[in-house]
């Protein structure tokens, strides 16, 4: 991520900056940067500009770096909201909020900053920019850093909220899976005499599911929970294996039946096939809300 940020501060803060010799690019820091060595900050001017009408100093800074997302919830993947935060925090101790220290220095975002903070290259393929939020807060550290009292620093979260495109997610991830599940569910309707054909369908479906799942998981981090899509794949694996076992049994029973009993065997097999299809549909309908809200 790259862009610009600017700071404005009154005369009282400027005295602290000059007295402590605080570099202008170190007045604030990005606390969610991945690697500080890869973060670049370039001052637009070597000295801050004094705005006489406001009685404040002004400094514009260009930045570029990689930032991490601390709270990424993918439980409903591929239908997700992703919040990409950019966390800015007052850096020097002289601008901190120690209980026994100097007056607390606040970071106050400008009222309309949310409307101005998104540039023309903020789009992400497959996602729609849903909202932009600005959240000031006090970052309370649970340590004294070896001296003094517990420290706290004023911070601001600048959040870009993205929402996955429903139609794109449905077409790319859900529809191919539903097609495979549908083929497996319909396959018991084939005549029991077509044992070889029936057996080939769930085995082919299993191989296809493995490759499909590996394809989408390659773009996701390791998760400690199952996403919505994971639950659907788990169901697809289960129904494919169950149908394969069913076909193994039905093929064996039909082939071992006497010629005059094959019709009776086929009728019994068809009855069980219909029960399995009904159960599979009921389980799928029940699983969808469970996987969505679990």
In this structure, the answer to whether residues 11 and 152 fall within a common structural domain is: yes
The CA-based angle 66-70-71, given to 5 degrees, is: 135
pLDDT exceeds cutoff 90 at 78? yes
pLDDT, tens digit, 9 for 90 and up, residues 96-141 = 776 666 667 788 888 777 777 777 778 888 888 888 889 988 888 8
In this structure, the answer to whether residues 153 and 36 fall within a common structural domain is: yes
The domain that contains 207 carries what CATH number? 1.20.58.390
In this structure, the answer to whether residues 143 and 211 fall within a common structural domain is: no
How far apart are the C-alpha atoms of 219 and 217, rounded to whole Å?
Answer: 5
Task: Give the pLDDT band (50/70/90) at residue 20.
Answer: confident
pLDDT, tens digit, 9 for 90 and up, residues 36-73 = 888 999 999 989 999 998 899 999 999 999 998 888 88
Residue 79: domain span: 2-164
In this structure, the answer to whether residues 99 and 178 fall within a common structural domain is: no
User: What would the mean pLDDT of 6-30 be, rounded to a whole number?
Assistant: 90
Average pLDDT, the chain: 89
Higher pLDDT, 103 or 170: 170
Residue 148 has what pLDDT?
65
In this structure, the answer to whether residues 90 and 185 fall within a common structural domain is: no
In this structure, the answer to whether residues 153 and 241 fall within a common structural domain is: no
**End position of a domain, from candidates 145, 164, 183:** 164
In this structure, the answer to whether residues 9 and 67 fall within a common structural domain is: yes
Task: Give the pLDDT band (50/70/90) at residue 252.
Answer: very high
In this structure, the answer to whether residues 122 and 96 fall within a common structural domain is: yes
pLDDT, tens digit, 9 for 90 and up, residues 229-250 = 999 999 999 999 999 999 999 9
**End position of a domain, from candidates 112, 143, 164:** 164
In this structure, the answer to whether residues 29 and 160 fall within a common structural domain is: yes
pTM value is 0.82
In this structure, the answer to whether residues 234 and 276 fall within a common structural domain is: yes
**End position of a domain, from candidates 103, 134, 164:** 164
In this structure, the answer to whether residues 144 and 172 fall within a common structural domain is: no
Task: Give the pLDDT band (50/70/90) at residue 251.
Answer: very high
């Amino acid at each position: 991520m790259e862009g610009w940020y600017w700071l404005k501060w009154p005369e009282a803060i400027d005295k602290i900056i000059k007295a402590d010799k605080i570099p202008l690019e170190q007045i604030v820091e990005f606390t969610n940067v991945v690697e500080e060595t890869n973060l670049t900050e370039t001052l637009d001017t070597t000295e801050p500009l004094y705005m006489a009408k406001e009685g404040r100093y002004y400094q514009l800074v260009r930045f570029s770096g990689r930032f991490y997302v601390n709270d990424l919830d993918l439980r409903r993947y591929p239908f997700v909201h992703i919040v990409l935060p950019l966390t800015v925090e007052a850096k020097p101790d002289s601008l901190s909020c120690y209980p026994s220290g100097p007056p607390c220095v606040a970071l106050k975002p400008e009222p309309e900053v949310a409307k101005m903070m998104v540039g023309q290259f903020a789009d992400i393929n497959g996602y729609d920019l849903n909202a932009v939020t600005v959240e000031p807060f006090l970052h309370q550290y649970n340590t004294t850093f070896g001296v003094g009292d517990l420290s706290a620093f004023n911070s601001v979260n600048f959040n870009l909220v993205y929402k996955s495109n429903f139609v794109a997610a449905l077409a790319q991830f859900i529809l191919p899976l539903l097609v495979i599940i549908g083929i497996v569910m319909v396959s018991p309707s084939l005549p029991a005499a077509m044992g070889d054909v029936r057996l080939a369908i769930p085995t082919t479906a299993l191989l296809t599911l493995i490759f499909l799942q590996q394809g989408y998981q390659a773009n996701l981090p390791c998760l400690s929970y199952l996403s919505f899509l994971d639950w659907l794949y788990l169901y697809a694996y289960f129904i494919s294996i169950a149908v394969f076992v069913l076909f193994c049994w039905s093929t064996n029973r039909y082939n071992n039946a006497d010629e005059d009993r094959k019709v009776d065997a086929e009728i019994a097999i068809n009855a069980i096939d219909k029960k399995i299809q009904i159960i599979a549909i009921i389980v799928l309908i029940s699983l969808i809300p469970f996987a969505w809200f679990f």
